[in-house]
Amino acid sequence: MGTVSSLFTLARAGYVLAREGVFSALPADALPPTARAGHFVARMIARRRAADAEPSERLSLALNRMGPSWVKLGQFLATRPDVVGSQIAGELALLQDRMRPFATAQSKEVIAASLGRDADTVFDEFSEPIAAASIAQVHKAVKRETGEHIAVKVLRPGIRTRFVRDLDTFFVAARLQERFIAASRRLRPMAVAETLAQSARIEMDMRLEAAALSEMADNVADDPGFRLPRVDWELTGRDCLTLEWIDGVKITDVDALKAAGHDPKKLAETLMQSFLRHTLRDGFFHADMHPGNLFVEADGAIVAVDLGIAGRLGRKERRFLAEILYGFISRGYRRAAQVHFDAGYVPLHHDVDSFAQALRAIGEPIHGQSAGSISMARLLTLLFEVTELFDMQTRPELLLLQKTMVVVEGVARSLDPDFNMWKVSEPVVGEWMRRNLGPAGALEEAGLGLRAVGRLASSLPEMADRAQSLSGELDRMSREGLRFDTETAERIGRAEARHTRWGRIALWVIALTAAMALYLQYFAD
């Protein structure tokens, strides 16, 4: 029954997307005949007013109608242009996560269940919701013990149950893709769905967001002009997160910033350099730095809130990023190309010099532009497009970085239209290169190597035992052959029968959905 329910949920989702004009906004020229017929049906179903809306508005409206899980799916897919394409990913990046708030009384019930304390005994004041998104909403409150103004982020009631149900639907869709659409298999839809599921599980535990805020706050404690709000661990639980209240100006309100005596150009520089420091130095960056999450305090410090999405880069990825950026800054394309091969991102059967030539084709036009038109986000987009020609495998952590850099750069340009990307980036990237690729970096790498050798030596006895066990098992198989027990054979038979049955059901559901959509359209409009 679960699969049948998921199939009908998919059918409903398809109908909502068609009604809001999402499908009809897509180009139909390159579609095969069957898909063109579906596109024609979608155009017939679409609301008349949908034709006047921008594609991102249509998508935002449709996903918000379908519920919080679908909004989160859209935000997740915005980080995967390799899966949905650059155009759709760009539209999803503009998705507005604005859901209807739930009652303040429900928020207090969630807080009481999470903290084991009645909300009215903890807070002197507790406002109506001031912001509501797909996962949680935020209230302003006053802490009774100290009189301190705080922000309380509360998880939506029932959101976990809703997510579990909708995630089942996403997994069914991924399985159908892999089974019936051969071209999609290289994109690994099931792996994408599993990544989404893990991301959602993390985001729905407020203690993990609190830990991320605490970790990043420690990382940036000595950084100039950037900080994060302090976590109140006493009033933080699985379903609610309490932070200090930030009194500041939204970073996109340029007139208010100037009136408060702040220099927008300096703020743009601080924002980008802070992001690069977090990425290169710490390997841990705020991956949701849209304008609504950034405030400027009276002393000029930028405060980033809402760390539900964070990105991590390992040492290899950080070196890769720094070398690439520095290669383009200094026009060292051969070195930048070699980094791709050293990191294992481009297969060795390709030629380094040919790849360097491709990088030069990206870099030289950028160097010929004015400072205000140079875009690092555009550079990374072009880079990933070129690397597809050289069989570079998808790197999800780099795609998340690219998406975040697009947002950060957009905020910086809203503060300073003549923002010079290279000039601002060079001090941070150059410092990282000198520290990590010079003598000090070589010593640190040697120390890491020695520690790795020590760990390997300590695990040798266990490895020897496993090798001996494996050798005995291989010897037995060579003599007796590989055999399935009865239970395994029966499971394989049941699985094959189930796949065949659900495949037929899926085709019927698709056909019924199309017929139902035409019927509803005929009587609705």
In this predicted model, what pLDDT tens digit does every residue of 248-289 receive, in sequence order? 999 989 999 999 999 999 999 999 999 999 999 999 999 888
**If residue 113 lies in a helix (H) or strand (E), which one and from where to where?**
helix 104-115
**Residue 259, token pair as written in the block:** 């009136």
* Residue 148: pLDDT over 70: yes
Of the CA atoms within 13 Å of residue 496, those in its CB half-sphere come to 6
Above pLDDT 90, what percent of the chain?
Answer: 29
Structure confidence at residue 481 (pLDDT): 61
Structure confidence at residue 519 (pLDDT): 43
What 8-state DSSP symbol labels residue 54?
A: -
Mean pLDDT, residues 460-472 taken together: 68
Question: Chain-centre distance of CA 165, in angstroms?
Answer: 21
* Residue 322: pLDDT over 90: no
Residues with catalytic annotation? 288
Structure confidence at residue 87 (pLDDT): 67
Structural contact between residues 45 and 517, judged by C-beta atoms closer than 8 angstroms: yes
Backbone angles phi, psi at 138, to 5 degrees: -120, 140
Considering 18-32, 97-111, 192-206, the range whose residues carry the highest mean pLDDT is 97-111
Structural contact between residues 124 and 142, judged by C-beta atoms closer than 8 angstroms: yes
Question: Chain-centre distance of CA 305, in angstroms?
Answer: 16
- Give tens-digit pLDDT for 343-380: 777 888 889 999 899 888 888 877 666 655 666 666 76
Mean pLDDT, residues 61-65 taken together: 81
Considering 128-132, 190-194, 374-378, the range whose residues carry the highest mean pLDDT is 128-132
**Residue 396, token pair as written in the block:** 């999800």
| CB contact set of 506 (below 8 Å; sequence gap of 6+) | 7, 176, 180
Q: How confident is the model at residue 381 (pLDDT cuts 50, 70, 90)?
A: low
Q: What is the mean pLDDT of the chain?
A: 79
Structural contact between residues 219 and 133, judged by C-beta atoms closer than 8 angstroms: no
What 8-state DSSP symbol labels residue 84?
A: H
Place of tokens 């579906």: 38
Say which amino acid occupies 513: T
* Residue 515: pLDDT over 50: no
The H-assigned helical ranges of 116-158 are 119-122
Nearest to 122 by CA among 136, 110, 133, 130: 110
Of 11-20, 77-86, 105-114, where does mean pLDDT reach its minimum?
A: 77-86
Structure confidence at residue 80 (pLDDT): 67
Q: Measure the CA–CA gap between 201 and 271, rounded to whole angstroms.
A: 29
The count of residues in the chain is 525
Q: How confident is the model at residue 14 (pLDDT cuts 50, 70, 90)?
A: confident
* Residue 518: pLDDT over 70: no
CB atoms within 10 A of CB 28: 15
